[in-house]
Structure 1
Amino acid sequence: MNSPPDLITVLLVEDHRAVAEGLWALLDDYDDLTVVGWADSVAEAEPMTQQLSPQLALIDYRLPDGTGADAAARIRAHDPAIAVVILSADTSDSALLAAVEAGASGYLLKSAGGDEIAAAIRAAAAGETLIPARTLMEVLARHRESARLTDQQTERLESLTAREQEILALMTQGLDNRAIADRLTISYATVRTHVRGILEKLEARSQLEAVAKAADWGFRPTPPAPPPQPPEP
């Protein structure tokens, strides 16, 4: 498709037809922008890019067969000169980082107005990065801290002995120490000793807090083994 040199050609990647049509109509209101096509999935985005050679892809982050970051990575692997702006309802740090790692120049929320979207398209097509370095540094810092805390939580859960894990699993079922002792056929004093160990390792002040922390950290109790079946006659 031959276009005037100052006309920015845009490919839409959006799985909801009504949204795509709305964006198409919105961008048509700007004399320097023109939509050249629409893809509704990650799989369709790359071949549409090869066929239409747009200057920029405006991509929804949530697609039926992946993310906008997946689509961006495929598009830019085919042609790194194509700019990418992600349009998303996802405000998470992980989504923003994935978009940046895939080569997106901008990341806009779907609440953005037409002028903001048009301005982002123009800037990205001109080679500008729309995500401030300070914002990206803050996101990376939060991401690293979250990863550190997750590793720490995993280590604490893995520090529990097999018996402590067994008792914690029963605690998550609402059993008190006496009931746990009866269930495991061990002494009440032994259960209390193990519970103290669980609280210490999880840095919990009560059994309720230990159960809450374990659930939040991804503790998955191992289901009890089924009782042995009597031999068949």
Structure 2
Amino acid sequence: MTAPADLTKVLIVEDHRVVAEGLWALLAEYSDLTVVGWADSVAEVVPMAKELGPDVALVDFRLPDGTGADAAAAIRANDPSTAIVILSADASDSALLAAVEAGACGYLLKSASGDEIAAAIRSAAEGETLIPASTLVEVLARHRENARSSAQQTERLESLTPREQEILTLMSQGLDNRAVAERLSISYATVRTHVRKILEKLEVRSQLEAVAKAADWGFRHVEPDE
């Protein structure tokens, strides 16, 4: 499909046909925009972009063979002049960062209005970055804090001795201290000492909280030696 030079050419990258057709019909309402094609996967993006030479690619973040970030990187590797606007239901910081790192200049949620999508496409075609620097600063700060917190959680779990891991596993299975002592053939006092150490290392106040936090942090159960 060819388009007049004064129109902004848009390539839709969306794996759901109904959504793609809806976007196509929506963008047809704007006289300065024209949809030149539709790709439904990362694999299809590059050959279509090469053939159609879009000014802007409007890309879903979740595709059957990858992400919108993968599609964005592939498109821009072929032609860095093609602007990328991600349109997604995923509002997570990780998705936004992945899109930015792949070269996307805009990130819209699928709840955006037609006018918002059209405006984003126009701005992207003009070379504008649609993601405010302040937003990126906030997202990066949260990302660093989450990474730091995750590292601390992993460190705390790894600080548990093999015996403490066994006891935590049995606690998560609903065994009380006496049942744990019997299962492991150790004294009740020894179990209480281990439990106290587990609470200290995980920085919690109760066994129930220890079990909940460990599960949330991805603790893998260790089956006690018989």
1:155 is aligned to 155
2:114 is aligned to 114
2:3 is aligned to 3
> Where do 5+ consecutive residues of structure 1 fail to align?
228-233
SS in structure 2 opposite 1:220?
coil
Identity %: 78
The one-letter code sitting in structure 2 at the alignment partner of 1:13 is V
* Offset of residue 46 of structure 1: 1.2
The one-letter code sitting in structure 2 at the alignment partner of 1:68 is G
> Where do 5+ consecutive residues of structure 2 fail to align?
none
1:30 is aligned to 30
Separation in 1 of the partners of 2:108 and 2:92?
12
* Offset of residue 166 of structure 1: 0.6
Q: Aligned runs of 1:193-208 on 2, under 5 Å?
A: 193-208=193-208
How many residues matched?
A: 226
Separation in 2 of the partners of 1:41 and 1:198?
48
1:180 is aligned to 180
* Offset of residue 6 of structure 1: 2.0
The one-letter code sitting in structure 1 at the alignment partner of 2:107 is Y
2:39 is aligned to 39
The one-letter code sitting in structure 2 at the alignment partner of 1:67 is T
2:164 is aligned to 164
Separation in 1 of the partners of 2:132 and 2:98?
16
For the 8 Å contact 2:85–2:107, the answer to whether it is kept is: yes
For the 8 Å contact 2:166–2:224, the answer to whether it is kept is: no
For the 8 Å contact 2:166–2:223, the answer to whether it is kept is: no
SS in structure 2 opposite 1:85?
strand
1:74 is aligned to 74
1:130 is aligned to 130
Deviations 1:132-186 (A, max 9, x none): 0000100000000000000000000000001000100000001000000000000
Deviations 1:6-57 (A, max 9, x none): 2100100000111101100111111110000000011111111111111110
For the aligned residue pairs, the C-alpha RMSD in angstroms reads 1.1
Deviations 1:175-212 (A, max 9, x none): 00000000000010110000000000000100000001
Separation in 2 of the partners of 1:26 and 1:110?
13
Q: Aligned runs of 1:222-233 on 2, under 5 Å?
A: 222-224=222-224
